[in-house]
Amino acid sequence: MLNTAFVIGNPDLCIGCRTCEIACVLAHTEKKLGTEAIKDVPFVPRLSVVKTEDVSVPIQCRQCEDAPCAEACPEKAIVQREQTIYVLANKCVGCKNCLMACPIGAVYLTRVEENPCQKTAYKCDLCIETPEGPQCIKKCPTKALSLVLPESITSSIKAKRTNAVRNA
pLDDT for the residue numbered 4: 81
**124-162 residue pLDDT tens:** 999 998 889 999 999 999 999 999 988 887 788 888 898
DSSP 33: P
CA separation (Å) from 138 to 47, 81, 83, 165, 168? 15, 22, 18, 37, 40
* pTM listed for this prediction: 0.84
pLDDT for the residue numbered 112: 79
Q: Which domains does the chain have, with CATH numbers?
A: 6-166 (3.30.70.20)
